[in-house]
Amino acid sequence: MVKIEQVSADIVRPLRHKVLRSNLPFEASIMLSDDFSDSAHFLVKKDGIIKSVASIYKEPFEKMPTYKGYRLRGMATEPSEKGKGFGSLVLKGVVQYLKNNTGAKILWCNARVVAFGFYEKMGFKIMGDVFEIPNLGAHKTGYFKL
């Protein structure tokens, strides 16, 4: 059975670290806004095992500052489970949460180059030039209108 859950930040950090920041100390997987009251963290479990995670933070999108924005960060899927729909499920859960609870109009992220196809498939618009985030690689900004 597949289940989407809202959880605390400490639950999503191990997979976030494993997939996105394994070359850095575990503390690098702790985001400054993780425990803010308007932040939220989600996971998808199948048969009790975490398959995918994502976090959102209330943060304006510079390109569209008049829209209430949330930033997607720390989205990660267990490597052996990629391509099985778990990332799509957790992102759909995030979008539903935002629509039902926040009044947000934009969800945005800095997406790794290898993830552009996934985000575009999910309805994100990828924009701007590729930029490098130290220790994390090449990225572009993407956004999704809610």
What's the pLDDT at 30? 96
Domain range for 128 is 2-145
What's the pLDDT at 48? 93
What total number of domains does the chain contain? 1
Distances (CA, A) of 83 to 66, 88, 92, 122, 145: 35, 9, 15, 13, 24
What's the pLDDT at 12? 98
Question: Does the predicted TM-score (pTM) go above 0.85?
Answer: yes
The ranges of the chain with pLDDT < 70 are none
What's the pLDDT at 134? 83
Q: How far apart are CA 39 and CA 137, in angstroms?
A: 25
Q: Which residues fall within 8 angstroms of residue 100, CB to CB, at 6 or more apart?
A: none
pLDDT tens across 54-64, in order?
Answer: 999 999 999 99
- What 3-state class would DSSP assign to 124? coil
Residue 50: give its domain's CATH number.
3.40.630.30
What's the pLDDT at 137? 81
Measure CA of the first residue to CA of the last residue in the chain; give whole Å: 28
Q: How far apart are CA 73 and CA 2, in angstroms?
A: 22
